[in-house]
Structures are given as C-alpha cells and as structure tokens.
Amino acid sequence: MFFSEELFNSKKYGYEFKVKSGYKFEEYDVFKEFVEDIYQIKSAHTPDHPWYTIAKLLLNSLYGRFGMDPNFETTSIIKISDYNDYLEKYEVLDYKFMEVDSMLIVYKDNRSAKEVGESRERAKNVSVL
C-alpha cells in the first residue's frame, strides 16, 4: 500500500506501475477546532497562570506526537545463540548477559517500512513441520 504522493514522486523518476485499487480520503482539518479552542485559552491567560501552561502543553504535545521517530527501541530477552541474527537485522544498542543461555538486548529496527513488510511477507510463506 502506498500513499499517493509517493506514487507521484516515483513517476518523476521514471517508475511505471498499475494501481489495482485504492482509497480516496476527503481532506479534513481534523485538529483545527481543537487547536483554535486551546489557543484561545492560552491567549486569554498570562504565562504565570496554570491555564496558560496547560494549554501550551496540550498544543506542544499534539505537535510533538506527529514529529516522533517511529523507530522505537525494543528490549527483549533472547537466546545467546540468536545474538548474531539480531546484529545482522537490527542496530543493537545494548546487551546484558543473564543466565547461562539468555541475554537482555536493546535494539532498534532501522529498516525501511518496505524492508519490514517484505520480511513479514517472507515469514508468512515459511512452512514449519
């Protein structure tokens, strides 16, 4: 599944494709009223007033959520024998040995969404007997 702007950009670079199906979304300013209402509260108070601080935090939090990096760190307990597989697939940030055959590992998946999707698709096609 692709966002239309990605397809438009791909055409600029000579890619050709056939769209089999899609979804059309109407443009709608989802947060307009919320932002206007909270901004009015903020504007109506001085910076030393609690409502000013609350309104400012709400506005900044909304903005911050959309600017977040979607690649979060993941912490898992794995078998030591699987460590090399994690090194190949992920950016390993930290690790600690626990018991004889296990370790705590902190890693980040820096692969693109396309690579993650392809990896999941391959995993679906594997038969386990």
Residue-wise pLDDT tens digits, 88-118: 889 999 999 997 899 999 998 876 655 555 5
- Containing H/E element for 60? helix 50-66
Nearest 5°: the CA angle 120, 67, 112 is 25
Tell me what pLDDT residue 128 has.
Answer: 37
User: What pLDDT is attached to residue 111?
Assistant: 66
CB 31 within 8 A of CB 39: no
Question: Would you kindly state where each structural domain of the chain is located, as residue ranges?
Answer: 22-68, 73-118
Render pLDDT for 68-78 as a digit per residue (tens, 0 to 9): 777 788 899 99
Nearest to 74 by CA among 96, 106, 102, 104: 106
What 3-state DSSP class applies to 61?
helix
In this prediction, residues 42-50 reach a mean pLDDT of 96
DSSP string computed for 26-55: ----TTHHHHHHHHHHHHTS-TTSHHHHHH
Two tokens, residue 75: 């912490």
Between CA 6 and CA 83 the distance in angstroms is 35
pTM of the model: 0.42
